[in-house]
Structure 1
Amino acid sequence: MTTPLTASYACGTDREPLITQTLGDFFDAMAARQGEHAALVSRHQGRRLSYAELRREVDTLASAMLRSGLRKGDRVGIWAHNGVEWVLMQLATAKVGIILVNINPAYRTSEVEYALNKVACRALVTMPSFKTSDYLAMLRELAPELDRCAPGELRAARLPELRLVVTLGDAEQPGMLRFADWNARGSADDPAVAEAAAALDAHEPINIQFTSGTTGFPKGATLTHNNILNNGYFIGEAMKLTAADRLCIPVPLYHCFGMVLGNLACFTHGATIVYPNDAFDPLATLQAVQDEACTGLHGVPTMFIAMLDHPRFKAFDLSTLRTGIMAGSPCPTEVMKRVVRDMHLSEITIAYGMTETAPVSCQSSTDTPLEKRVSTVGRVQPHLEVKIIDPQTGDVVPRGSPGELCTRGYSVMHGYWGDADKTREVIDAEGWMHTGDLATMDAEGYVNIVGRIKDMVIRGGENVYPREIEEFLYRHPQVQDVQVVGVPDAKYGEELCAWIIPKPGAAPTEDDIRDFCKGQIAHYKIPRYIRFVQSFPMTITGKVQKFKIREAMKQELGLRDAETA
């Protein structure tokens, strides 16, 4: 039996009260206090906005949304990389109670169709294309009716709830509205915006982010003003952010890392956001840090590695850097040490969480000893509780013993959109979110993630759930059975491997499988390793032993597990 002092349980401080305002009200108050201070720099767009200027643009867009017939509780998707429009959407939807739905830019036709229909999106803001992704072509495949309807009057058989498509491009598109033209409908002084804002409650949903699960289908983690605003604030507190800080954000905004650990950490402290590019580019990021005198830098380990190993790394002056966050996947100790030594990030922190907890539940701080920063994910955040339990009994384990990490408090999501059963599977009757991650807690309360109960693979900061990929590959006409696992990878942390049993008489090739995936699922979900087998390792009771598949692949490829922290 464990005592309170030896049990793997910790409760965060409550010295500072939680923010009770809505995101819109909080942002307005910040803009009123420091209107002339720089709020946002989007280097690839050549745009710079003060807090006062950003507020006017937010109010104008919020007005345009209301004048387009959108109302509190409606879902509006954004399918785009980082830029001014993304943050305008984040703040404008929050101001009038519209729920922003983050669509991963890597999604392809089947994935975006599922996401839009799952939460019944009324409108979608999308970039026209990016590299090899043609977003407008994908939308026309799903909704050919766009070519013969007026903007805002879409009636599509495959997207029955979608009415309005807004493009971030300059060219006019049949059935779509340009963002600039949509925005022009609004007014920064529209009294309807203030009226809508006054009717909101901080505990109402404001954001949906898709996260996959063992069912193979993405679930819409639904987050409130209270969830993400407070989480952003306490994340910034751990970094000791002030209005004097300038945070470089190369991580994607469609993910909590960008929109909460980045945008909201800044907005809650009056700091300046710097977007170096629409998507991550190591050279553009280094240039932005130098030119904008950034004091903070966020990234997943692979981003920091790409910058450290860039041939021109030593040509940049990074001496203004102080803090930031490394998160998204296990943080290798040696990479952390190089970041501290070579990038001047002496106060960089490590954060741990999941989308369902808005997302951060544990974080190191700027004064956490280096050995703890490279070997743990820090301690519990304020106003939250964490415990580590025996997955079989539910009992709290002694400190130092592994078990499932659970968290409780303001950050736990509203629920999975339209899926009460799945919500109950992860949030118990006492309000504890069961993360599925295996962890230990030391005598000082520092938490270390040691593995995963769930089957999740983390590839370069992206959470990939094998069951989702298996369900997709089952559709291939030559596939009888398939198992997907993660195998260690020096660059991405983990890579995907698919073991496939072909149908009798079939002889698919690796190229057949990859061609089947292209354009239908995100590129990072396409297995790097594909093997055709006659059977899977099984238990006596007929369960597939995935760990044996993983071990066999490690042996074949001469791999070792990536170093984790």
Structure 2
Amino acid sequence: MYAATPQRPSYASGTSEVPLLGDTIGDNLAHTVAAFGDREALVDHPSGRRWTYREFAADVDAVALGLAARGVGKGDRVGIWSPNCPEWTLVQYATAKLGAILVNINPAYRTHELTYVLNQAGISTLISASGFKSSDYVAMIDEARPDCPTLSDVLVLGTPEWHDLLATGAAADRARLDDIAATLSPDDPINIQYTSGTTGFPKGATLSHHNILNNGFFVGELCGYTEADRICIPVPFYHCFGMVMGNLAATSHGACMVIPAPGFDAATTLETVAAERCTSLYGVPTMFIAELSEPSLDEYDVSSLRTGIMAGAPCPAEIMKQVIDRLGMREVTICYGMTETSPVSMQTRTDDTIERRVSTVGRVHPHLEVKIIDPESGLTVPRGTPGEFCTRGYSVMLGYWQQADETAEAIDAARWMHTGDIAVMDDEGYVQITGRIKDMIIRGGENIYPREIEEFLHTHPDIVDAQVIGVPDERYGEETMAWVILRDGAEPMTAESLREFATGRLTHYKIPRYVHVVDEFPMTVTGKVRKVDMREQAREILSGGR
């Protein structure tokens, strides 16, 4: 008698013939400039400004030396509070060359949140736009400053003081940066990104050169980037999607960073892709939905597009198919990750089948490990079994800034990062993310994963986008509620009409009991749906009898 073959565990490691980079970000940029100095590095479409790699490096050095002249040094925290603009990118690379720690501040923050981040990170220098949309940043800084004892220097972009900094840096001795570079290690912390926590104050994920440079590089490798690529980046720089998957993926391959606008606008993004002949386009699903719904879509020549990334939230299969068919992004990839892991852990490959790309987040990234565990026992589950997704490797953050207890809750003794996401791994190592542990709905003892229902709702001809949440119910404990955005001209939708559509096609207990039609979902600035806000609003809606 032979023993039964044990089931394979939900574990995978990313092998690669391409080694990890051992550089600092400054050193890596220097290699790119040496190889591709005359190629375009950065284009700001709104202003028409352009930089070759040689020009970009010179301006980065000027910003770095200008900051150094104002006393910024290794380990100092430099905050940046601005929507997307070329100066954001220059500051990103300049602070890395100084060994200073860049602290990304959400452009949507108000005074209370700004004050918290300035104090929690101990920011000494703040670089800020004058404002964005309806926010007056200068007024908010003035209000916060008396309560921020570490803040000693504020620079507002576009002012005479900012131009003086550039002039001072441009006239300074470049050799000083070489001396500083000799003191820097790839393992030094150089970035703090605050997670958009759903409860309490956000936590500052602290990331090193090694973390984010390698993650950006391998994201670019799996997109097939070369110096010929031009990446349209409408996602925010303050988030990993923009500054790592966008900027660092570009500069580590000699590709061009293209900024379509300070904030996202569907028509402007499409116009930029056409005008700049972009080969790659980034976005969260809601951005791609907006682009596909843009009435003037067919007026733009987007035939230059080859690849791109859809990430930041679960990607509806129907939307993914349209991105390939209507935008021509035949090699588009799906990425999955989190701020704390630099961010990407999983990515589809450009040669994966469409089915793989619409139904999974791909396979493990090079040089990383992933596993799926039983959240209760901590043991790795067999393939095909849902559990909590965990990842380990070079990408895992150094920790939450000045929050050792919170770090220990997220990263265990073996350095596995626990994500809180529910996932399933198949026999080939492809992973599906089926929801958040906290988002799972338990209705009368049945576990319901919102993602499954959301995918189904996207097949309704009148539904442009859908989100499903759990709401309290006296009989079942929880019931399902669908929030839907309808196409223009669609008939009003009710719970009854949706039930009629779903009956016989969706298990009865998964059919949403309540339907709420909206024009938009509550979102974070990075395009993630805030289901915690939806649940709060749903309680008010239902208690009001609506």
Unaligned runs of 5+ in 1: 144-155, 173-177, 459-465, 467-484, 493-516, 533-548, 558-565
Distance 2:485 2:97 in 1: 40
The residue number in structure 2 matching 1:185 is 168
* 1-structure distance, mates of 2:433, 2:163: 45
Contact persistence 2:205–2:340 (CA under 8 A):
yes
- Name the TM-score, length of structure 2 as normaliser: 0.81
Q: 2:19, 2:267 → 1: CA distance?
A: 41
Q: TM-score, normalised to structure 1's length?
A: 0.78
Check whether the contact 2:7–2:382 (CA below 8 A) recurs between aligned residues: no
Counterpart of 1:444? 428
Amino acid corresponding to residue 29 of structure 1 in structure 2: H
Match in the other structure for 2:157: 168
Quote how far apart the aligned CAs of 1:141 are.
Answer: 1.5
Q: Is the Cα contact below 8 Å between 1:266 and 1:273 reproduced in 2?
A: yes
- Alignment partner, residue 228 of structure 1: 212
Counterpart residue number, 1:563: none
Displacement of 1:179? 1.9
1:49 is the counterpart of 2:32: no
Aligned partner of 1:241 in structure 2 is: 225
Provide the rounded CA distance (Å) in 2 between the counterparts of 1:554 and 1:403.
Answer: 34
Q: Distance in 2 between matches of 1:288 and 1:201?
A: 37
1:102 maps to which of 101, 104, 121? 104
> Deviations along 1:48-79, whole A, 9 cap, x unmatched?
00000000001111101111011100000000
Residue 488 of structure 1, CA deviation: 4.7
AA in 1 matched with 2:418: H
Cα pair distance change 1:126/1:523, threshold 3 Å: farther
Residue 243 of structure 1: CA displacement? 0.6
Q: Deviation digits for residues 163-199 of structure 1, max 9, x if unmatched?
A: 11110134x6xxxxx3222222213643221111110
- Asked if structure 2 preserves the Cα contact closer than 8 Å seen for 1:2 and 1:398, the reply is no
Shift of 1:251: 0.5
Deviations 1:280-334 (A, max 9, x none): 1111111111111111000011111111111111101111100000011111111
Cα distance in 1 for partners of 2:12, 2:406 equals 27
Aligned twin of 2:514: none
State the SS of the aligned residue for 1:186.
helix
Matches within 5 A, 1:303-342: 303-342=287-326
Alignment pair present for 1:357 and 2:341: yes
Which residue in the other structure is 1:425 paired with? 409
Aligned to 1:289: 273
Aligned equivalents of 2:38, 2:117: Cα separation in 1: 39
* TM-superposed deviation, 1:201: 0.3
Q: Using a 3 Å threshold, how does the CA distance of structure 1 residues 11 and 524 change in structure 2: closer, same or farther?
A: closer
Secondary structure of 1:347's counterpart equals coil
Alpha-carbon distance in structure 2 between the residues aligned to 1:417 and 1:491:
38
- Show CA shifts across 1:441-468 (max 9, x none): 001100100111246999xxxxxxx9xx
> 2 CA distance for matches of 1:214 and 1:101?
20
Asked if residue 142 in structure 1 is aligned to residue 175 in structure 2, the reply is no
Instruction: Provide the secondary structure at the position in 1 that maps to 2:30.
Output: helix
Q: Distance in 2 between matches of 1:192 and 1:313?
A: 50
Amino acid at match of 1:57: D
Give the secondary-structure state (helix, strand or coil) at the position aligned to 2:253.
Answer: coil
1:375 aligns with 2:359: yes
Q: Distance in 2 between matches of 1:57 and 1:138?
A: 29
- Distance (Å, rounded) in 2 between the aligned partners of 1:2 and 1:95: 57
1:399-410 equivalences under 5 Å are 399-410=383-394
Unpaired runs of 5+ in structure 2? Answer: 441-449, 452-468, 470-478, 487-521
- Measured in 2, the distance between the counterparts of 1:529 and 1:333 equals 25
Q: Deviations over 1:383-402 (max 9, x none)?
A: 00000000000110010100
Structure 1 residues 93 and 3: alpha-carbon distance in aligned structure 2, compared to 1, 3 A threshold: farther
Residues of 2 paired with 1:194 and 1:450: CA distance?
A: 48
Cross-structure match for 2:517: none
Q: How far 1:349 moved relative to its partner?
A: 0.3
User: In structure 1, what is the equivalent of residue 329 of structure 2?
Assistant: 345
Structure-2 separation of matches of 1:77 and 1:165:
9
The one-letter amino acid paired with 1:203 is D
CA distance in 2, matches of 1:556, 1:6: 50
The one-character-per-residue Cα deviations of 1:12-65 (angstroms, maximum 9, x if unpaired) are: 013211100100001011101111000000111221000000000011111011
Seen in structure 2, the aligned counterparts of structure 1 residues 290 and 555 have a Cα distance that, compared at 3 Å, is farther
Query: 2:226 & 2:250 partners in 1: Cα distance?
Result: 8
Secondary structure of the equivalent of 1:273?
strand
Distance (Å, rounded) in 2 between the aligned partners of 1:487 and 1:200: 52
Alignment CA distance shift 1:294-1:3 (3 Å): farther
Please give the residue correspondences for 1:235-274 in structure 2 after superposition, counting only pairs within 5 Å.
Answer: 235-274=219-258
* Amino acid in the other structure paired with 1:427: I
SS at 2:257 equivalent:
strand
* Count of paired positions: 468
Q: How does 1:195-214 map to 2 (within 5 A)?
A: 195-213=179-197
Amino acid at match of 2:86: V
Q: For 1:198 and 1:64, how far apart are their aligned partners in 2? A: 19
SS for the counterpart of 1:90 is helix
- The answer to whether the 8 A contact 1:487-1:553 is kept is no
| Alpha-carbon distance in 1 for matches of 2:528, 2:151 | 26
CA deviations over 1:220-266 (Å, ceiling 9, x no partner): 00000000000001100110011111111111000100011111111
| Counterpart selection for 1:67 from 59, 63, 69 | 69
- Report the Cα distance in structure 2 between the residues aligned to 1:4 and 1:63, rounded to whole angstroms: 60
